[in-house]
Amino acid sequence: MEAEKDLLLVLGGPAGVSLIVLFGFSWGVLKSEDRSPVWAWLMIAAGALSVVLCVTFLALSSGRVFASWMATGTVEPVLVLLSMAWFVAIAALITVLVSVKRACRHLVECYHPNDTPLMVRWLRRWVEH
């Protein structure tokens, strides 16, 4: 049970707080009327970091979560919490992935159509189609 407790501490501790902060920051940037490229790029980086945190947690905990679902006997509270955290991580990952196009549109709107870096031009083609 030590590994399960460690995984819960990671999600409940630094990674969980980081996800909340990153989601809050990104939400604030998207709601802002200011179209600053610096904030937009930081928002994209925050989204990428959120994906890394969620995927890492899911990769580390999936084996134990699936094994707990197939186990017989008494239900351990730690495994129930780990399963709940696993679903929260999936929901957070889906939320980030669904918001990608909106975040890219925000980034594209920060630049004038004639004065954009190559990456923004590629994103502009993707967002406008």
pLDDT at 11 over 80: no
- What is the pLDDT, as a whole number, of residue 90? 92
User: Is-contact 84 75, C-beta < 8 A?
Assistant: no
- Closest to 26 in 3D by CA, of 7, 48, 2, 11: 48
Alpha helices of 32-117 — where are they, by DSSP H? 37-70, 77-98, 100-109
pLDDT at 3 over 90: no
Please measure the distance between the N-terminal and C-terminal CA atoms of the chain and give it in whole angstroms.
49
Task: Give the residue-averaged pLDDT of 5-13.
Answer: 69
- What is the pLDDT, as a whole number, of residue 12? 67
For 77, counting Cβ atoms within 10 Å of its Cβ (0-12 exposed, 13-18 middle, 19+ buried), the class is exposed
- What is the pLDDT, as a whole number, of residue 113? 81
How remote is the C-alpha of 12 from its chain's centroid? 15
Q: What is the pLDDT of residues 12-50, one digit of tens each?
A: 667 777 788 888 888 888 888 888 889 999 889 988 988
- What is the pLDDT, as a whole number, of residue 1? 58
Which residue shows structure tokens 């239900």? 75
Q: What is the pLDDT of residues 67-120, one digit of tens each?
A: 888 888 887 888 888 888 889 889 989 999 998 898 888 889 888 888 778 888
